[in-house]
Structure 1
Amino acid sequence: MVYMRDGTIARVADPDVMLTSEKAASTAGWAEPSRYAVAGVQVNTVSGPAMVWSRVPLSGAEQALRTLYGALLPGVPAVLLVVALMTWYSVGRALAPVAAIRVKVADITARDLHQRVPVPGSKDEVAALATTVNGTLDRLETAVETHKRFVADAAHELRSPIATLRARLELAEQSELTKEALADVERLQSLAADLLILAKLDAGEPLRASELDLGQVAAEESLRARRRPEVRVELDIEPDVVMKGSRAHLDRLVTNLADNAVRHAASAVRVRVHAEDGQAVLHVQDDGPGIPPEQREAVFDRFTRLDEARARDAGGAGLGLPIARDIAVLHEGTLVYADSGFVAKFPLKRI
């Protein structure tokens, strides 16, 4: 057998002895076998079969592996992080116009249809989408403005003939038929007035606001004569609840809430005004059956009447509460129905 040892060859007399690489290395007095790669091959010589062994140190390979691990362990996560950041930036940059369109469309309401979504400078599908949305808003604004003008013009034109008809009925000889006709005319007159107010509110006319005492407005409008004089109106007014608003609009809001409460009350209506958490609060409550929870938002829809069976002259057209809510929203306030009645809240004017 022949062993390679630092470039020299050691020969063993007995060729029949087959040693493993580890045993051969140990026999030859080599260093620790685990630090080297050892290979052997049997060859035929003039003296007979022999094994030729060769070794290669593993230090180079180990150094290469250490270098590779040192580069890959921090390098791969860093590369993945850079790729993720670049992808996030690229996708965000590409979708930024879409986000701007979404935000703008979410802000557009029926009161500000004149607004338009931004059109990006890039001539791609996103720009085409923005152009299409703006075109749709143009057509929608035109249709809504046409509808508003029609309602306002119709309500305005109906006021004069209705007033004339009412005057004639009041001067005519009184009979059962005349009384019924007069009740219908009064209801029609109220409907025309409500439609005109709704048209003005929908048109977004600027609010002519001034400082006023909400308690004074509530007291004056709640004590006006109504169809059911037997219903008692109780007042709980806190002084100096000052807010900024339109006196005409707030008169109408209180009137609509009080009329609704008197219409459905059993015997009494309570009107309360107070300041709470920086807000002016108007609370109108009646001792009637109340509104079921599942219908407390439906009552603010236009032309909604929950009690369809009531007499025609006793009920409204279903516009009083929607008008009241629109007036509250116009004053940056809210109007809801809670368990205890209607609650309107407005920003309180600090004095």
Structure 2
Amino acid sequence: MSRLFGSVRARATLAATLVVAVALVAAGTAVLLSLRSNLLGEAGTQAERSAREVAAQLAAGTRYDELSLDVDDRPVQVVDEDGVLVAASEDLERISGTGVDAVAPRQASADRPGDDDDDDDEGLEPGEIGGRATLSDGSATIDGETEDYRFAGVTVETDDRGTLTVYAGSPLSAEHGAVSTALTVMLIGFPLLAALVAGVTWLVTRRALRPVEGIRREMAAITASEDLGRRVPVPDTHDEVARLALTTNETLAALQASVERQRRFVADASHELRSPIASLRTQLEVGAAHPELLDVGGAVEDTVRLQRLAADLLLLARLDAGERPADGRVDLAALAREEARNRPRVTVRAGEGAVVEGSRGQLGRVLANLLDNAERHARSAVEVTVGREGGTAVLGVADDGEGVPPADRQRIFERFVRLDAARSRDDGGAGLGLAIARDVAVRHEGTLTVAEAPAGGALFELRLPADDSPAEAP
């Protein structure tokens, strides 16, 4: 049971059915109450009409035994001001609801004066009929048949008999029948309508969720097969389900690209690590066998290269894991002067206000990588410029080398990518410096691009959001 109602289709069907059921019950109750009220009002009107017909006869002086009381076999009572029944319908056997239970009239004194106790009809003149009728519910037995009635009481003032009250009843059998019929129809129709709503909702939700089930099955198959090249089906509905399928496929594509990039990274890293490790092992083995032939400088160089490569790989791994840069204020002008201090070919032109928020160590690594790259390719000089453009701090590194062809200006930021021209001048780089630089720039909400320098070489521009917050007091 819990598994059944754990599905979206079952919950949607149950919710729709409950809402419709509550609405039907509320509407049915309102209809029954309105129907009963209207029928009771109609019965009261008919009873009052009958009572006024008899009251008109009394106002005209008609004797009790000459009154026409057997209209449509409805119960009628005429009561004097002392509450004595003075006239009643023929064959009336029992009555309740009028306040006078007597059914056998007896003649009252016609000359007894009296006061009318009905506040609503005080001040009636002889022969005048009261304007308001009192309504009540009761029952009566006429000629052996008992029914419920709506009674109307009307007062009439006479010259010789005082104030008389006429009670006439109208049967409620029509009201009972109509209400009973309506209730029966509702008791039969409402469950059928609720069942119809449940069935339609079940089918509609099944059809609507069928693409979702297809997506789920395909995702389960992808998980089982580990084939990230597969994609989930996209329905032609152009709705939320279709957008979900498109987003799922985009996520699978991104995941596939990430996994492939990780595989290439591992393969390239293994290849790059193999060369210095093999070279270092060879030198150590030669040195172990022939100490006089040990190339200590070459071994140290390979060790340093291996150390740098391991550091680069570790930094890339941290960046890929989403490591956020440490909070701090970094003056790019001071950072540029510090990095260029031991580089004789590098000149710095720095302005004011180029302060950013981020990690000094990572930004220093970016500048060092850019300077290393520029020095490897420069003919004679490298220039570093630091300035500010609006709310952006700009750091540029330009060389007077051969530059980067436009077709390769995006590819050089990929990992382990080295252009052919660069390979001949490379002093051991693994092709990770520019990739690290761009990843750090992105982590600092900035950009790193390459263009043509004024001297004809390459111009790398690092753009970062400037930090205008006041510096903390030391």
TM-score with structure 2 setting the length: 0.39
Corresponding residue for 1:330? 443
Give yes or no for contact 1:187–1:313 (8 Å, CA) kept in 2: no
Tell me the alpha carbon deviations over residues 78-136 of structure 1, each in whole angstroms, 9 at most, x when there is no partner: xxxxxxxxxxxxxxxxxxxxxxxxxxxxxxxxxxxxxxxxxxxxx99638837964994
Q: Which residue among 267, 281, 285 is the counterpart of 2:394? A: 281
Corresponding residue for 1:342? 460
Tell me: CA distance 1:191–1:312, structure 2 relative to 1, closer, same or farther (3 Å): farther
Structure 1 residue 282 displacement after superposition: 0.3
Aligned residue runs from structure 1 range 139-158, under 5 A:
none
Corresponding residue for 1:126? 242
Give yes or no for contact 1:183–1:313 (8 Å, CA) kept in 2: no
Structure 1 residue 292 displacement after superposition: 1.5
Q: Tell me the SS of whatever aligns to 2:434.
A: helix
Q: Which residue among 235, 241, 245 is the counterpart of 2:354? A: 241
Structure 1 residue 178 displacement after superposition: 2.9
Matched, 1:178 2:296: yes
Q: Tell me the SS of whatever aligns to 2:402.
A: coil
Matched, 1:216 2:329: no
Separation in 2, partners of 1:262, 1:134 = 41
What amino acid is the match of 1:250? L
Structure 1 residue 331 displacement after superposition: 0.8
Tell me: CA distance 1:178–1:313, structure 2 relative to 1, closer, same or farther (3 Å): farther
What amino acid is the match of 1:209? D
Q: Which residue among 401, 404, 408 is the counterpart of 1:295? A: 408
Q: Tell me the SS of whatever aligns to 2:416.
A: coil
Separation in 2, partners of 1:280, 1:135 = 34
Q: Tell me the SS of whatever aligns to 1:335.
A: strand
Q: Which residue among 301, 305, 310 is the counterpart of 1:187? A: 305
Q: Tell me the SS of whatever aligns to 2:295.
A: helix
Separation in 2, partners of 1:307, 1:145 = 22
Greater shift in the superposed pair: 251-260 or 294-303: 294-303
Q: Tell me the SS of whatever aligns to 1:190.
A: helix
Unaligned runs of at least 5 residues, structure 2: 1-238, 454-458, 470-474
Separation in 2, partners of 1:312, 1:190 = 18
Tell me: CA distance 1:239–1:150, structure 2 relative to 1, closer, same or farther (3 Å): same
TM-score with structure 1 setting the length: 0.52
Tell me the alpha carbon deviations over residues 184-220 of structure 1, each in whole angstroms, 9 at most, x when there is no partner: 2222221111111111111101221212211111221
Unaligned runs of at least 5 residues, structure 1: 1-122, 226-230
Larger Rg computed on CA atoms: 2
Matched, 1:199 2:312: no
Give yes or no for contact 1:261–1:269 (8 Å, CA) kept in 2: yes
Give yes or no for contact 1:194–1:319 (8 Å, CA) kept in 2: yes
Tell me: CA distance 1:125–1:150, structure 2 relative to 1, closer, same or farther (3 Å): same
Separation in 1, partners of 2:337, 2:327 = 20
Give yes or no for contact 2:305–2:428 (8 Å, CA) kept in 1: no
Tell me: CA distance 1:139–1:318, structure 2 relative to 1, closer, same or farther (3 Å): closer
Give yes or no for contact 2:377–2:425 (8 Å, CA) kept in 1: no
Give yes or no for contact 1:222–1:254 (8 Å, CA) kept in 2: no
Give yes or no for contact 1:282–1:343 (8 Å, CA) kept in 2: yes
What amino acid is the match of 1:126? A
Tell me the alpha carbon deviations over residues 24-49 of structure 1, each in whole angstroms, 9 at most, x when there is no partner: xxxxxxxxxxxxxxxxxxxxxxxxxx
RMSD value over aligned CA atoms? Answer: 4.5
Tell me: CA distance 1:137–1:180, structure 2 relative to 1, closer, same or farther (3 Å): same
Separation in 2, partners of 1:306, 1:254 = 20
Matched, 1:254 2:367: yes
Aligned residue runs from structure 1 range 314-329, under 5 A:
314-329=427-442
What amino acid is the match of 2:354? V
Tell me: CA distance 1:133–1:289, structure 2 relative to 1, closer, same or farther (3 Å): closer
Give the total of aligned pairs.
224
Structure 1 residue 265 displacement after superposition: 1.2
Separation in 2, partners of 1:335, 1:188 = 27
Corresponding residue for 1:92? none
Q: Tell me the SS of whatever aligns to 1:344.
A: strand
**Aligned residues: percent identity?**
43
Matched, 1:306 2:419: yes
Tell me the alpha carbon deviations over residues 241-268 of structure 1, each in whole angstroms, 9 at most, x when there is no partner: 2111111110100010011111111111
Corresponding residue for 1:232? 345
What amino acid is the match of 2:391? G
Separation in 1, partners of 2:251, 2:383 = 50
Greater shift in the superposed pair: 184-193 or 331-340: 184-193
